[in-house]
Amino acid sequence: MVVWVRHGLALDRLAVPIVLAPLAGGPSTPELTAAVSNAGGFGFLAAGYLAASALAERLERTRTLTEAPVGVNLFVPGTPAPPQAVDAYAARLAEDAAQAGVELGGARFDDDDWAAKLELLIAMPVAVVSFTFGCPEPEVIDRLQGAGSEVWVTVTGPDEARAAVDAGADALVVQGAEAGGHRASFRDDPAEDPTGGIGLLSLLQLVGAQADLPLVATGGIATGGAVAAVLAAGAAAAQLGTAFLGCPEAGTAAVHRQALAGSAPTAMTRAFTGRLARGIRNRFLDRHSAAAPVAYPEVNHLTAPLRHAGRITGDPGLVNLWAGQSYELGRPLPAGQLVRALAEEARAALQQAQERLGRPADAGAEDEGSAAERP
């Protein structure tokens, strides 16, 4: 039997310090997860939007494809939004729905099958369980650790990092504002919007200065040079999302792949899901971002038929085209090949940096001497 849970941090055992981000909503597949872990990186399976039974099937399938450790990512549930805010937004979307020939979805609140997925992960432990949109209670973290998993918590600011350390996390996923998809913040607070969020390099330094835990850097990393940069800034690994969306193993929709091959700018929006996320600008995002309420997952359910229609009819203007700020640098390679190419580039980038920095002071003095002799 394959032993998926081992002792010591998963990060310390990686042949390549590259993590496949959980990519909920279609792109995450067992094939993608296994390909990254088989290449010596660390693959996550996204559990967001999946019922516990669907997650169990995906985990079983992943186990047939790799013996290497993998992780599962869960969304921490929030609280229901005031119904009036969602009703007003639904009225606004009626015209889009009529044009697309669909009915809007029911704007219901749910907890994403939280308790059942936790029980599944206690019964079928994986090497790492990571959390997004909040920090679980210390008892939940204890239970998962007791089952043999380590717990990573995604943070977007120093205050969230402190809370995750206090709750007993084993590592922090540090998400910069460049990141594609949802901002992982514990609370989605529009009052914070004008700050634009904290960029990855700043956040790594701020969190690193106060949290004595391994850090996994994520947001806008598309090249080996950027992998090297975050390692040099103290991260134990780099977690990439958008960079893997073009891989053949990913379940990324065709309209999304086409948009990733273009060059339109990205923007932050609540228009598709009711929670702040970064995607490539399109018709729906531009039309509705300013009016979209904080109401997740209600708005996600409301817009689901529109997004589905966009995917099947090939209309990118209706689809949430999640992408990080450096998406234009994506390479549609098989995932294992991409992991190896990124690692090779990172080694070269670090060597170049080393050469740039590595001359000892006295060698510099000798150079100065010889420079003085130059005409």
Among 105, 241, 293, 316, binds ligand FMN (CB under 6 A): 241
Among 33, 185, 242, 273, binds ligand FMN (CB under 6 A): 242
CA distance 371 to 316: 59
Tell me, by CB under 6 A, how many residues bind ligand FMN: 27
Site for ligand FMN in 332-361 (CB under 6 A): none
Q: Would you say 85 or 317 has its CB closer to ligand FMN?
A: 317
Q: Would you say 37 or 132 has its CB closer to ligand FMN?
A: 132
DSSP E strand stretches across the chain: 18-20, 42-46, 70-75, 128-132, 150-155, 171-175, 181-182, 215-218, 237-240, 266-269, 277-280
Least Å from the CB of residue 297 to ligand FMN:
12
169: left (phi over 0), alpha (psi -120 to 50) or beta: beta
Neighbours of 352 (CB within 10 A): 12
Least Å from the CB of residue 240 to ligand FMN:
5
Asked whether position 144 contacts ligand FMN by CB under 6 A, the answer is: no
Least Å from the CB of residue 46 to ligand FMN:
4
Asked whether position 246 contacts ligand FMN by CB under 6 A, the answer is: no
Among 69, 181, 197, 293, binds ligand FMN (CB under 6 A): 181
Asked whether position 175 contacts ligand FMN by CB under 6 A, the answer is: yes
**Contacting residues for 251 by C-beta, under 8 A, at least 6 apart:** 26, 27, 28, 29, 32
Q: Would you say 184 or 271 has its CB closer to ligand FMN?
A: 184
Neighbours of 324 (CB within 10 A): 28
Least Å from the CB of residue 149 to ligand FMN:
16
Which range binds ligand FMN by CB under 6 A, 3-11, 80-88, 174-182, 360-368? Answer: 174-182
Least Å from the CB of residue 286 to ligand FMN:
19
Q: What is the DSSP string of 28-55?
A: --HHHHHHHHHTTSEEEEE-TT--HHHH
Least Å from the CB of residue 316 to ligand FMN:
14
Among 89, 272, 296, 322, binds ligand FMN (CB under 6 A): 322
Least Å from the CB of residue 41 to ligand FMN:
13
- Binding mask 71-110 vs ligand FMN (x if CB under 6 A, - otherwise)? --x-------------------------------------
Asked if 345 contacts 227 with a C-beta cutoff of 8 angstroms, the reply is yes
CA distance 3 to 274: 39
Which range binds ligand FMN by CB under 6 A, 56-64, 163-171, 214-222, 258-266? Answer: 214-222
Site for ligand FMN in 15-44 (CB under 6 A): 21-25, 27
Q: What is the DSSP string of 302-350?
A: HHHHHHHHHHHHT-GGGS--B--TTGGG-----HHHHHHHHHHHHHHHH
Question: Is the N-terminal amide bond of 69 cis, ω within 30° of 0?
Answer: no
Q: What is the DSSP string of 237-263?
A: EEEESGGGTTSTTS---HHHHHHHTS-
Which tokens belong to 241? 């999302």
CA distance 372 to 369: 5
What does the binding site for ligand FMN look like in residue numbers (CB under 6 A)? 21-25, 27, 46, 48, 73, 132, 154, 175, 178-181, 184, 218-221, 240-243, 322, 324
